Amino acid sequence: MDSHTGDKTMENNDWHPADIIAGLRKKGTSLAAVSRSAGLSSSTLANALLRPWPKGEKLIADALSISPEIIWPSRYFDSEGKLLARQIRSGRTNK
């Protein structure tokens, strides 16, 4: 079973972190390079591999030319397959 197809008739499984890293390598980049190009520390995007972080997920997905919900369906869909409400927070402001 290929969990990377995004087919809603199949069981939705998140990609393994090694598959994400391999996908980035196939695109000629790395997690650290994507992180640095977004103005982040080279290790910051690794957080999105381990826990929900919409901004990081979007950066990784964009580098792979796919939608984040394809990579992490458990973070975007409930047990019935309905889309969960998620937001990317804007940058912090100092008052």
For 48-82, what is each residue's pLDDT tens digit? 999 999 999 999 999 999 999 999 999 998 888 88
Residue 83 phi/psi, 5-degree rounding, is -65, 130
**Residues whose CB is less than 8 angstroms from the CB of residue 12 and which lie 6 or more positions away in sequence, other chains included:** 3, 73, 74, 77, 81
Domain-located, residue 58: yes
93, part of any domain: no
Residue 2 lies in a domain: no
Question: Looking at the domain assignment, is residue 67 inside a domain?
Answer: yes
Instruction: Record the pTM.
Output: 0.77
Please compute, for residue 65, the number of CA atoms within 13 A of its CA located in the half-sphere on the CB side: 5
* Residue 55: domain span: 17-76
How many domains does the chain fold into? 1
Residue 11 lies in a domain: no
pLDDT recorded at residue 82: 86
* pLDDT value for 9: 38
- Give the residue among 64, 70, 61 at the shortest CA–CA distance from 88: 61
**Mean pLDDT computed over 19-40:** 98
**Within a domain: 10:** no
Q: Are 19 and 71 a contacting pair, CB within 8 Å? A: no
Does some domain include residue 82?
Answer: no
CATH number of the domain bearing residue 59 = 1.10.260.40
pLDDT (0 to 100) of residue 78: 86
pLDDT in tens, 6-24: 444 344 589 999 999 999 9
At residue 92, the pLDDT reads: 59
Looking at the domain assignment, is residue 8 inside a domain?
no
